[in-house]
Amino acid sequence: MEVGVGHFGTFGGGGGSSDDCDDRTHKAAPVASPCKMTAKAPECPKDNLLFPINEIKVDSVINKLTRKADCVYKKMEKNSVLSKTMEKFMGEKTPVHLILDQKSNLRVKDNDPGSPLVNGKTEYGTSFYITILLNTEQANNRPSLAVARTILHEAIHAEIYRKIKTRAPLVYNATTKTWNLSNGSRADFPTLFDSYDEDPKNPDHNYMAGYYRSGIETGLKEYAKAIGEKHSDQFYKDMAWSGLFGTKSWEKQYKDQAFADKEKKRIIKTISDYEKSGNNECK
């Protein structure tokens, strides 16, 4: 299981979306002024900037991973799907930065021993930083290909949040008690807008299931080839569903309900059996 948690508001605020479960908390935030949203500009005195973007010297992707988790990530540095997903975080002038980190016994809710353990989650708070957290034990105790899938899944979450932070602030609907993309964002992200419009309780996963599964499949194939593993095309299709159960795409795979139920059980078993098949072999 992977999740995304945090506070979703306007740019300069924060946000969240879940992977296997929906555990979001939201907090409205004031809209940042143009001076605080952008780098240096003639109409914006340097002192009014949230931080001097043009002068940032830190890496835009900050890797704090260690040991097995770090090993998998470094083997994915040339993965075409991960590189494409993370490319907008690259470069000193990017307004949103990505942190890769890990935590022992990572749970949906921090400091709640009764909360479910998760493989990873993506956090997006009130800053210009988005953090992907991996569960240290899960990174050590699953095959590296399964850990690679978690990294791909969470990187897609991070990219969705980056788009929203930079271009499409969310608006809170007090009547439905949900967050929706502002009307002006449809031109930039029509399919993401529709995902929020159609199902505001699980928009990111519906969007991911509908448009990113084939990319996850490709990324997994590349990683498996790099480490010398071979699997069937169906295996990669099955693995790409992990974390996306319950989405509209998952529920509408097949019109024949009996066949659909059989396929769902088969896919879930394939994922579960593989994730339990061995420890992380990455060295």
> What is the model's pLDDT at position 256?
94
Domain boundaries, the chain: 2-214
Encode pLDDT of 253-282 as tens digits: 999 999 999 999 999 999 999 999 999 999
Coil/strand/helix, residue 120? strand
pLDDT category at 202 given cuts 50, 70, 90 is confident
> What is the model's pLDDT at position 172?
65
> What is the model's pLDDT at position 174?
78
Rounded CA separation 107/17 (Å): 15
205 or 200, which is more confident? 205
Largest CA distance in the chain: 64
> What is the model's pLDDT at position 124?
80
Shortest CA distance to 194 belongs to which of 209, 177, 206, 178? 206
pLDDT category at 44 given cuts 50, 70, 90 is very low
Phi, psi angles (nearest 5°) of residue 36: -90, -10
Encode pLDDT of 122-174 as tens digits: 998 767 789 999 999 999 999 999 999 999 999 999 998 888 777 655 666 77
Shortest CA distance to 121 belongs to which of 217, 19, 247? 19
| pLDDT, averaged across the chain | 78
pLDDT category at 60 given cuts 50, 70, 90 is confident
Least confident of 42-46, 83-87, 175-179: 42-46
Q: Is the pTM of this model over 0.85?
A: no
Neighbours of 104 (CB within 10 A): 7
